[in-house]
Structure 1
């Protein structure tokens, strides 16, 4: 009865608030509708709590309703309940209390997919490929409600015991790890690709991103760097001030970086470079792809708008929206889209129109007919409404069906675990290559594994056959269709040979990651990464580099 009275009180309070709202804004239809609907919501919630056949969890019900409401807006306006604040802080600061291991689900198993350098997980002897079956005695294998990732988090200097199954060992192994503050770096790798080209891999924009990029740049400059590749591929963005500070590293003080414009005009602001730059002369290539978003697009767009460097890769995601965090009651938060941002040329790169939804609730991209031309500092034409378009386009590499299947089934990963167990050491990541004999060992290992797949050609032939049957042409072409299906039917053995180079590269990168962690993954890719190769080719032809920046490409 006490719970029932409490909800009656909440409903009554909401009704009173609604009445005040009705009185205060009697002539304002908008506020009338807000008050009316709040009253409806409160009374509905009261009735559910009092009469629904089962017990109602108020926290879960309200969270579900809030999430459904925000889903009608855009993907970036989010509500954080009190028990999610730690996740929110991790997202903005890159810090959390834990062990520093990425645990993921593979065929229903909790597998250690990556261990971060210098973290408690690495120091404890935990290994990539370990299957976590218990955390402090809690069986995460059989209990579906047990979240291994959350169980691993906890107060600094507290110990957590992991019971793991390890490749090559019959009995489970206990690993004790002492939790600590884990800092997820924004720059997981930087180094020299050759004698004069430096490389910085920028993967996030949390609170220390600018300092990390500055440090990496200065260290590389000290090693003789004459040209820079800044990689923002797969970077989802983050803090706006970090995008401003990182742009500031390469453009003059007082230069305009970004302008925000929204409904609350008092919040509209133009942000400029506040500090002296670290370098205005070094040639820069920025690598982008379709997953470069938000803050990553600001940095890319600023470099392009000031003709400070050349962009190579694929068109960026197109997120030109700014979020502001608002504090709510009971230690909850709302991250709300409050403005659009405009880079120095005046363009907004927002590609998706969330304000006008289709009848089915879906949203479409801004049509080309509504896009406007703008100009960079030297007069190169650029467009708004579709992300940032690179100066040199490199086609996105689509994996072959067999490579995709081997990766998705976890077989590339599993073989790397086996290889790591059988080979205590390997050559440095840049030098490591599988021999043909080792590749054949992988092929033999696959012989009893399930990884079947359907090629696009086989799918298209299936569609053609269905259409022929529907339109009564099948009898006329069935012999030709049968012949084509026989010729195009894939053979896994043949594909393992035909696409050997691609599969071998995937294996080499995965294996080096098991020995040298994130740095190994990156260095192993230098020789085969198409965007990096395009950047090195451009740096080998500085006349072309200058022509692009002058608009003469």
Structure 2
């Protein structure tokens, strides 16, 4: 059992480390780092010795680290070993498993979609499949993290699934060899019509540059002459990937972003190159309140250089540079070391206080600072753009508002469940996805079938709110049916075709064409 003497030795060790790292200057005042560490050790020791219940020292130190970082800013944070691993999987580009996205319904995991080009998709796992057993063990009641642990594993190892499929009398057995599963940052891309391409980027991960390059080349080969680049709900990621993506649309020698910090080594400037610059076609970038960090870097550079039109809502306003510092137990701290600025000099970061909840739930637009009171900057051609945090769009288009009833239906995955039951009955009606898009009717008959489904499931709903959101609800049903029959890309295409912000973004192309002409004339 550790005693108070143990913590005294810890204090001595910290003292020595501080002396080596900072020299005697660190101990010059009563507010020195050593004095504060000694105070912390006293508290830690007191809790360890006298608290009414036994407390884990690790738990206490974790809490102290979290509390320390909370005194800085909302983005300086502590990451547990599990969170470090999750971040690595999300942004490094892959993990090992079978390749499915799932939800838990009625205590069993249900497949939402197999990830394209993975073992699950190749073996015919379908949306709506209910996983009854994994390696002979029942899945009933297992939590999401327990299921992920059983489904993931080393490449080449085997997992056996017992699946119940709608319309099948007996369960199906699948033997799947685990493989490397890509985590894509390009969520989807396709041609909206014979001239306009659409590309949705969900994050800036290790593979983003390659993915965006592939998507752009493919769209251009299909005849794309204009592009809608969707950065809505893109929370950011790696700065170097954002620079490479912006570089694809800018001619060489243009500043994309610069950083400034207290330490001189943090001060950097990033410029475009002439390598892999794509044709100067009209460009519209969609943003909203969920567009943050690296995504704001791209939008800000495109706007400042008049390369494209920014459409949507003012972005989140996250413009702080973090360095991630690993700790010896696999955890890490992420420390703010600088700030991002757009080429025109706009600070992307919006003001923040110590109320983290308010910071994340309040948008730049809700701070009630009118544009005429915000600092004005100029783009390359002299257009006005605004500081104060975030990227203010050139063309403002609000996100559609949905009722509480519809929000609950989304959270409960009611549209997915209904489509899982409804899709098999219409499968024979449409020989192709093209026919489905052209002839599927979003009418009252479909809505009544959905309401009957909700009643049979004993889901409560407000009929007036259902009617108010009728168009949105029917579009959601159509997209989920498309996913059941033709996969994830069909799902995204239906959603985009019925997206009011995308439809309104199409009206911004005349301005985008004028800006493209400016670029061509330079």
Common fold by TM > 0.5: yes
Is 1:379 aligned to 2:410, yes or no? no
* Separation in structure 2 between the aligned mates of residue 160 and residue 27 of structure 1, nearest angstrom: 58
Q: Does 1:433 align with 2:440?
A: yes
Check if 1:326 corresponds to 2:325. Answer: yes
Task: Identify the match of residue 416 of structure 1 among 405, 416, 419.
Answer: 419
Gaps of 5+ in 1: 454-489
- Which of 481, 488, 501 is matched with 2:471 structurally? 501
Which segment is superposed worse, 49-58 or 145-154?
Answer: 49-58
Deviation at 1:100, TM superposition (A): 2.0
**Worse-superposed segment, 300-309 or 16-25:** 16-25
Q: Given the superposition, is the C-alpha separation of residues 446 and 146 from structure 1 closer, same or farther in structure 2, using an over 3 Å criterion?
A: closer
What does 1:305-454 align with in structure 2 at a 5 Å threshold?
305-353=304-352, 356-357=353-354, 363=359, 368=369, 371-424=374-427, 426=430, 427-428=432-433, 430-431=437-438, 433-434=440-441, 436=443, 437-453=445-461
Structure 1 length-normalised TM: 0.81
Note if contact 2:309-2:512 (Cα within 8 Å) is conserved in structure 1. Answer: no
Q: Shift in Å at residue 518 of structure 1?
A: 2.5
With 49-58 and 240-249 compared, the bigger mean Cα shift is at 49-58
Give, in angstroms, the shift of residue 529 of structure 1: 1.4
- Relative contact order (C-alpha < 8 Å, sep 6+): which is higher? 2
Q: Secondary structure at the residue paired with 1:336?
A: strand
- What corresponds to 1:471 in structure 2? none
Partner SS, residue 318 of structure 1:
coil
Question: For 1:255-311, what per-residue CA distance to the aligned partner results, in whole angstroms no more than 9, with x for missing partners?
Answer: 101010112122111111134352352111111111111111111111110001111
Number of residue equivalences: 503
More displaced 10-residue stretch of structure 1: 410-419 or 115-124: 115-124
Structure 2 residue runs of 5 or longer lacking an equivalent are: none
SS of 2:227 mapped into structure 1: strand
The equivalent residue for 1:28 is: 28
TM-superposed CA distance for 1:95, in Å, is 1.3
The 1:447–1:328 alpha-carbon spacing in structure 2 relative to 1, beyond 3 Å, is closer
Q: In 2, are the aligned partners of 1:199 and 1:231 still within 8 Å (CA)?
A: yes
Call closer, same or farther: CA 1:367–1:30 in 2, change over 3 Å.
farther
State how far apart, in whole Å, the 2-side matches of 1:64 and 1:328 are: 15
Using the alignment, how far apart are the partners of 1:367 and 1:502 within structure 2?
29
Alignment match, 1:126: 125
Deviation of 1:406 (Å):
2.8
Task: Identify the residue that residue 250 of structure 1 maps to in structure 2.
Answer: 249
Distance 1:543 1:308, change over 3 A: closer
Q: CA deviation at 1:545?
A: 4.5
* Inter-CA distance 152–432: structure 2 relative to 1 (3 Å threshold): farther
Match of 2:11 among 14, 19, 26: 14
Residues 173 and 250 (structure 1 numbering): CA distance in 2 closer, same or farther, change over 3 Å? same
Larger radius of gyration: 1
Deviation at 1:498, TM superposition (A): 6.0
Deviates most, 305-314 or 42-51: 42-51
Contact 1:140-1:146 within 8 A present in 2 as well = no
Deviation at 1:9, TM superposition (A): 3.3
Answer whether contact 1:244 1:299 (CA < 8 A) is retained: yes
Residues 1:545 and 1:76: Cα distance change in structure 2 (over 3 Å): same
Question: Per-residue CA shift, 1:509-541, capped at 9, x if unaligned?
Answer: 1111223332112211243212221233333xx
Shift of 1:154: 1.5
Per-residue deviation, 1:27 = 5.2
**Structure 2 partner of 1:512:** 482
CA–CA distance in 2 between the matches of 1:225 and 1:20? Answer: 60
The equivalences for 1:143-158 within 5 A come to 147-158=146-157
Greater mean deviation of Cα atoms: 507-516 or 240-249: 507-516
Q: Give how far 1:416 is off.
A: 0.9
RMSD: 3.2
TM-score normalised to structure 2 length: 0.85
Give 2:491's aligned residue.
521
